[in-house]
């Protein structure tokens, strides 16, 4: 991949992350690094057989195919964590995804279950854009500008356990890309009974509640617009600037305070790519993940989470040309499994999510071999104090949507 194809924030992220990875993720040695794919596949399959129901392997949709082939369950982050929590016999949960997902699995699983991330370098650049110190500072700053009792913090599941704990302690909730609208309606209205709610924009005017949403500004903006809010109702909090760049007027006026974060993968999609695809095909259908910018989402025919995109592709008429704005491994897998459709990733030079991509055959074989000898490498353990508040925030989400 040429230098031009690497976004600037990826570079910054990796410069910061490389040092951490060197400290945390040990070299695997030549037994794994020099092994052929065929040898590694055989090793992993054999370890899986031996461990039987003591082990469950989870694979996020964005993982590579050679890893996905070993997953007992594929899905998005929440679906996988919920699945893990139901596998009471499984002593070991090998999570082929990124760190915040393994943390969520550790929070939701029982104490006898050990959650393992095959490569500790598999973080998430979006989750890293809102660290707990910056969020604590933001909370203090916002409390200088508006009545903080009216501010409900909501964090996207793509965030650290520390943030989920913060949200839990401040009467907020976690959300996913599937249930963000329901969680925002709950935050602004204070009611879980969504069916009885009149227009949420009117409700928010009466309650004067606000949502502080992190780390992804795009998911929040796209969801708010879908609910009927507009640009006047939002302000972006930039953690690099004093007071986040807010003043009393903007903080008081806004219903949404959006953390200045984004996904490095989904921000690569743009309107020109959509127009190009539509120009090429008469029956084009555009599907976009809500982590894409609002301009992209506005031009899409179908907007939804990875699961929603998969369902929409499954329901498409044969012969349809589908352009998808989400991570390329998922798009390529959909194209391979739906030979009666024409499926393309909208970004022709799309690179995969680089951190998801760190989970590979050598790392998977290494952790599985360890388990055969009762050695647990790379266990993800969330501190009990953090776990308590984070679980509160996750349980609150599950009770709402
Ligand atoms: S696709 Fe984006 S949000 Fe998902 S793990 Fe990668 S960087 Fe994070």
CATH code, 77: 3.40.50.10800
Task: Assess whether 220 and 335 both reside in one domain.
Answer: no
pLDDT value, residue 352: 86
Give the sheet arrangement for strand 73-75, strand by strand: 73-75, 55-60, 92-96, 114-116
Q: What angle do CA 351, 353, 354 make, to 5 degrees?
A: 90
- Is the link from the previous residue into 178 a cis peptide, with omega within 30 of 0? no
For residues 222 and 280, membership in a common domain is answered with no
Mutate to test the pocket of ligand 1, among 356, 357, 358, 359 (most ligand atoms within 8 A of CB): 356
From residue 161, alpha-carbon distances to 108, 390, 400 in Å are: 12, 6, 20
Measured from the Cβ of residue 78, the count of other Cβ atoms closer than 10 Å reads: 24
Distance from Cα 55 to the centre of ligand 1, integer Å: 26
pLDDT score for 333 = 96
Query: Does 133 share its domain with 7?
Result: no
Q: Which atom of ligand 1 is nearest to the CA of 353?
A: 6
> In ligand 1, which atom is closest to the CA atom of 126?
8
Distance 266 CA to ligand 1 centre (A): 8
Residues 6+ apart with CB under 8 A from 133: none
Domain span holding position 304:
270-345
How many angstroms is it from 124 CA to the middle of ligand 1? 5
Q: What is the pLDDT of residue 21?
A: 46
Domain co-membership, 133 together with 86: no
Ligand 1: centre distance to CA 113 (Å): 26
Same domain, 30 and 145: no
Q: What is the pLDDT of residue 15?
A: 44
In sequence order, the β-bridge partners of residue 58 are 73, 95
Task: Please indicate, yes or no, if residue 392 is contained in any of the structural domains.
Answer: no
For the CA of 98, the closest atom of ligand 1 is 5
How many Cα atoms within 13 Å fall on the side-chain side of residue 91?
A: 11
Cα-to-centroid distance, 24 and ligand 1 (Å): 20
| 184 and 250 assigned to the same domain | yes
User: Going residue by residue through the chain (401 aa), what tens digit of pLDDT does each one get?
Assistant: 333 344 444 444 444 444 444 457 788 988 899 999 999 999 999 999 999 999 999 999 999 999 999 999 999 988 898 898 899 889 999 999 999 999 999 999 999 999 999 999 999 999 999 999 999 999 999 999 999 999 999 999 999 999 999 999 999 999 999 999 999 999 999 998 877 788 999 999 999 999 999 999 999 999 999 999 999 999 999 999 999 999 999 999 999 999 999 999 999 999 999 999 999 999 999 999 999 999 999 999 999 999 999 999 999 999 999 999 999 999 999 999 999 999 999 998 877 899 999 999 999 999 999 999 999 999 999 999 999 999 999 999 989 98
Mark whether 136 and 247 lie in a shared domain: yes
Contact, 251 vs 233, CB < 8 A?
Answer: no
Residue count of the chain, please give it. 401
Output the pLDDT for position 196: 79
Residue 365 has which token pair? 């074989």
Give residue 348's pLDDT: 81
Quick check: pTM over 0.85? yes
Q: Per the domain annotation, does 100 fall within a domain?
A: yes
Backbone torsion region of residue 378, taken as left when φ is above 0, otherwise alpha when ψ lies between -120 and 50, otherwise beta: left
Best substitution site from 11, 17, 355, 357 to test ligand 1's pocket, by max atoms within 8 Å of Cβ? 355
**Which residue's CA lies nearest to atom 3 of ligand 1?**
263
Q: Does any domain span residue 19? A: yes
Are residues 134 and 255 located together in one domain of the fold? yes
Domain total of the chain: 3
Rounded to whole angstroms, the Cα distance separating 312 from 221 reads 23
Q: Which residue owns the Cα nearest ligand 1 atom 8?
A: 124
Ligand 1 mean position to 125 CA, how many Å?
A: 7
Whether 230 is covered by a domain: the verdict is yes
Measured distance CA(65)–CA(332) in Å, rounded: 10
Residue 390 lies in a domain: no
Residue 399 counted as domain residue: no
Cα dihedral sign, 158-172-108-303: negative
d(CA 220, CA 340): 35
Nearest Cα to 359, choosing from 86, 83, 69?
69
322 strand-pairing partners: 285, 343
In this predicted structure, what is the pLDDT of residue 3? 36
How far apart, in Å, are the Cα atoms of 16 and each of 21, 138, 246?
A: 9, 22, 28
Query: Do the Cβ atoms of 255 and 154 come closer than 8 Å?
Result: no
Question: Where does ligand 1 bind, in terms of residues with CB under 6 Å?
Answer: 62, 98, 124-126, 158, 263-265, 327, 353, 355-356
For residue 353, is it within any domain?
no
User: Domain check: are 334 and 363 in the same one?
Assistant: no
Distance 196 CA to ligand 1 centre (A): 35
């Amino acid at each position: 991949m040429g230098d031009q194809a690497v976004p600037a924030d990826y570079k910054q992220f990796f410069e910061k992350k490389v040092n951490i990875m060197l400290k945390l993720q040990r070299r695997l040695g030549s037994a794994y690094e020099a092994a052929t794919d065929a040898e590694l596949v055989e090793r992993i399959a054999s370890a899986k057989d031996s461990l039987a129901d003591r082990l469950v392997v989870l694979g996020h949709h964005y993982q590579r195919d050679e890893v996905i082939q070993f997953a007992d369950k594929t899905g998005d982050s929440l679906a996988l964590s919920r699945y893990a929590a139901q596998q009471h016999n499984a002593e070991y949960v090998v999570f082929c995804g990124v760190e915040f997902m393994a943390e969520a699995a550790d929070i939701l699983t029982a104490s006898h279950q050990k959650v393992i991330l095959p490569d500790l370098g598999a973080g998430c650049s979006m989750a890293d854009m809102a660290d707990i110190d910056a969020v604590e500072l933001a909370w203090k700053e916002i409390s200088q500008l508006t009545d903080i009792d009216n501010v409900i913090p909501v964090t996207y599941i793509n965030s650290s356990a520390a943030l989920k704990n913060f949200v839990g302690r401040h009467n907020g909730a976690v959300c996913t890309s599937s249930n963000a609208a329901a969680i925002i309606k709950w935050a602004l209205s204070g009611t879980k009974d969504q069916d009885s709610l009149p227009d949420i924009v009117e409700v928010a005017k009466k309650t004067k509640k606000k949502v502080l949403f992190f780390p992804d500004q795009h998911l929040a903006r796209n969801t708010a617009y879908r609910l009927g809010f507009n640009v006047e109702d939002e302000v972006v909090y930039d953690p690099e600037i004093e007071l986040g760049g807010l003043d009393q007027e903007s903080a008081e006026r806004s219903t949404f305070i959006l953390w200045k974060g984004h996904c490095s993968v989904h921000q690569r999609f743009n309107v020109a790519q959509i127009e190009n695809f539509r120009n090429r095909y008469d029956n084009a259908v555009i599907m976009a993940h809500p982590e894409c910018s609002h301009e992209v989402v506005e031009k899409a025919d179908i907007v939804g989470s990875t699961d929603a995109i998969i369902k929409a592709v499954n329901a498409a008429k044969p012969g349809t040309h589908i352009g998808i704005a989400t991570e390329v491994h998922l798009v390529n897998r959909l194209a391979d499994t739906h030979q009666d459709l024409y499926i393309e990733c909208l970004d022709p030079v799309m690179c995969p999510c680089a951190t998801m991509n760190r989970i590979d055959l050598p790392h998977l074989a290494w952790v599985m071999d360890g388990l055969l000898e009762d050695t647990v490498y790379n266990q993800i353990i969330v501190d009990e104090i953090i776990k308590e508040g984070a679980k509160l925030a996750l349980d609150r989400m599950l009770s709402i949507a």
